């Protein structure tokens, strides 16, 4: 929002976005919702996000991400998918 990131992603034909960073329930979640509305496939890396409170963090990874994300994975699960299939996008939520 307010940047040319979406235009750059579309120009490169990118359809899937992987999320990591801070803060879990505000910045990461908000950016994820915006990406979903723009039509992107979302993968959240649950052990690569952080929040100032455990409650907000748990709400994001336990409720929000599975609600609108296509996948919620650990970094290790994500890397295994990339190594074995060369892609991400099984449209599943891992536990």
Cα–Cα dist 71/55, whole Å: 21
The confidence score (pLDDT) of residue 36 equals 94
Using one digit for the tens of pLDDT, what is the confidence trace for 42-65? 999 999 999 999 999 999 999 999
Region 68-75: mean pLDDT is: 95
pTM: 0.85
Beta strands in the chain (DSSP E): 16-22, 41-50, 71-73
Q: For the chain, give every domain's residue range.
A: 5-85
Q: How remote is the C-alpha of 15 from its chain's centroid? A: 12
pLDDT at 89: 59
- How high is the pLDDT of residue 95? 38
3-state helix, strand, coil in the chain (%, to 5): 50, 20, 30
First to last CA, the chain: 31
pLDDT tens-digit map of 14-42:
999 999 999 999 999 999 999 999 999 99
Write down the CATH superfamily of domain 5-85. Isochorismatase-like (3.40.50.850)
């Amino acid at each position: 929002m307010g940047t040319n990131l979406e235009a750059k992603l579309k120009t490169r034909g990118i359809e899937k976005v992987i999320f990591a960073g801070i803060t879990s329930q505000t910045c990461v979640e908000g950016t994820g919702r915006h990406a979903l509305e723009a039509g992107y496939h979302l993968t959240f890396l649950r052990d690569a996000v952080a929040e100032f409170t455990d409650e907000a963090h748990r709400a994001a990874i336990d409720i929000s991400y599975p609600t609108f994300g296509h996948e919620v994975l650990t970094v290790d699960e994500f890397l295994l998918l990339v190594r074995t299939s060369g892609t991400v996008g099984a449209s599943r939520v891992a536990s």
